[in-house]
A and B are shown apart, each in its own frame.
Chain A
Amino acid sequence: MTRGPQPGAARRPATTAALGADVSAFAGRPLAEVFPAVTRTVGKGALGNGWTADEAARATLLSGAGRAEIAELYRFGDTAEKLAILKALQLEDIEQIVGEDGLALVEDAIRTNDQRLLAAALGPYATRHLPAATFRQAVLKCVFAGVPLAAVDGLPARADDELKRMMADFAAERRAAGRSVPEDLQPYLER
């Protein structure tokens, strides 16, 4: 199975600077109180570069924060804040700040029962940092939770033999129960 570049992939911002978000309205106030209130100030309109206004503003606020501060914002974040932080991990400067510590955030999101968090966790940062065993379990969890596999950045590139074996077993279990096998699993079942 092959997958060409996504439409618009070339224009995808690689750093927070490329997002072009203005966060001057938030200056001088505690980040812990500013970060949750971002959407009420900038809205959530699409910027046309794959980001919404609030996601971009939150990422830009993170670019001025420290590693521990980002972890704490995630810890106390509501779903929208957590989604924004997980998305921001793909930006080079944010990845620089969090280093390997971003893994703890990704793993936290994978443990939840919320499809949105699960999908957001499996972005380019997870592709680059997540250990193989964790990645395989997370992908299988997507299959169970109904998260489309197209949303997983690391697929198909990181689909190793072990993951394909797990997918085949899952499909066999479904067929044995007389249940359908998700459409997007098919390409991984062809040997």
Chain B
Amino acid sequence: MRIFDPHIHMTSRTTDDYAAMAAHGVQALVEPAFWLGQPRTSVGSFVDYFDALIGWEPFRASQFGIRHHCTIALNPKEANDPRCREVLDVLPRYLAKDGVVAVGEVGYDSMTAEEDEVFAAQLELAKRFELPVLVHTPHRDKAAGTTRTLDVVRESGLPAGRVVVDHLNEVTVKEVADSGCWMGFSIYPDTKMDPDRMVVILRQFGTERILVNSAADWGKSDPLRTHATGQAMLAAGFTEDDVDQVLWRNPVEFYGQSGRLDLTGSAAEDTFAGNSILRGARS
């Protein structure tokens, strides 16, 4: 089972996690820029964080044979702090980097006017840099937040296929499926979504346009939940090819739209058939 975790915060994880992930088939991942638990109060903290996402963390991942890419954005939680607003000004520098394969995580946390503004500004950046977008949906008032998210995406004029709406559940999946956006699911211990519930959703909605991630971070989370979901799919009668589509080919297709995915050095590079969307092929 080869796995591409499309959403995991490795900055918060140990080398043991990297070793366990590699042993369970994780060969590539995307680390979205998000908040770190402790709120930041200046643009400098963000710049150092972004530097780690394009520098130190890919270096650490490479020592375990794992390809590391990231997404860059001002997250909605910290978008509400005026001291962090200047982050928007440094984003263009980072969105031009090779290792940056999407704008994200953007979206809503508390659905404030500030969040509206920052979300819209970053969707514009995604258009300018021709990047896909990773959208976080709020934990509180999730259904209403998802509806509003889809409205804003529609108004931006971005193609729905370039957007993944993440952290979905049984209540929010239908609307996103109908929108044409990609559907993201975070398989988290206790909350969000678990492997068996994920299998039920896959039965209902099929295996296309779906991304399954561990969203592992500094909270109680598990970087092997992607693997557990693959096992649950097999146990429920899905084929190896179905599992490969959901856990590998789908994330490669979604982030491949950036033209910047570089899977050389991952054990899967030779076996990936649709080479055309890999680095460089777009231009």
Contacts and interface: CB of A to CB of B under 8 A. Distances in A.
A37 B283 CA distance: 12
Interface string B248-280: 000000000001100000000000000000011
A40 B93 contact: no
Given A41-B283, A43-B280, A36 B96 contact: yes
What's the interface size class on B, roughly?
20 to 34
Contacts, number: 42
B93 A33 contact: yes
A33 B92 contact: yes
Interface residues of A, number: 16
A76 B93 CA distance: 7
B218 interface: no
Given A40-B279, A41-B283, A79-B59, A32 B99 contact: no
B59 A78 contact: no
Interface string B90-112: 10111011110000000000000
A79 to B, nearest CB: 5
B55 interface: yes
Contacts of A32: 92-93, 96
Given A32-B93, A33-B92, A40 B260 contact: yes
Contact of A80 (B47, B92, B98, B259): B98
B59 A36 contact: no
A127 interface: no
A15 interface: no
A37 B96 contact: yes
Nearest to A81: B97
Secondary structure class of chain A's binding surface, majority of residues: helix
Q: Which of B51, B55, B259, B279 has the most CB of A within 10 A?
A: B55
A150 B234 CA distance: 52
A78 B54 contact: yes
Contacts of A33: 92-93, 96
A101 to B, nearest CB: 20
A92 interface: no
Contact of B58 (A41, A43, A79): A79
A32 B96 CA distance: 9
Q: Which of A43, A78, A79, A113 has the most CB of B within 10 A?
A: A78
A35 B58 CA distance: 20
B55 A78 contact: yes
Contacts of A80: 98
Interface in A28-46: 32-37, 39-41, 43
Interface string A107-131: 0000001100000000000000000
B265 to A, nearest CB: 14
A43 B51 CA distance: 23
A40 B59 CA distance: 20
Contacts of B99: 78
Contacts of A114: 55-56, 59
Given A78-B98, A79-B55, A114-B59, A40 B92 contact: no
B93 A39 contact: no
Contacts of B259: 40
A44 to B, nearest CB: 9
Contacts of A113: 56
Contacts of A39: 98
Contacts of B90: 76
A78 B97 contact: yes
A43 B92 CA distance: 22
Contacts of A37: 96, 98
Interface in B50-96: 51, 54-56, 58-59, 90, 92-94, 96
Nearest to A39: B98
Nearest to B262: A39
12 contacts: A33-B92, A34-B96, A36-B96, A40-B98, A41-B283, A76-B47, A78-B54, A78-B55, A79-B54, A79-B59, A114-B56, A114-B59
Interface of A: 32-37, 39-41, 43, 76, 78-80, 113-114
Given A37-B96, A78-B54, 6 more contacts: A36-B93, A36-B96, A76-B51, A79-B55, A79-B58, A113-B56
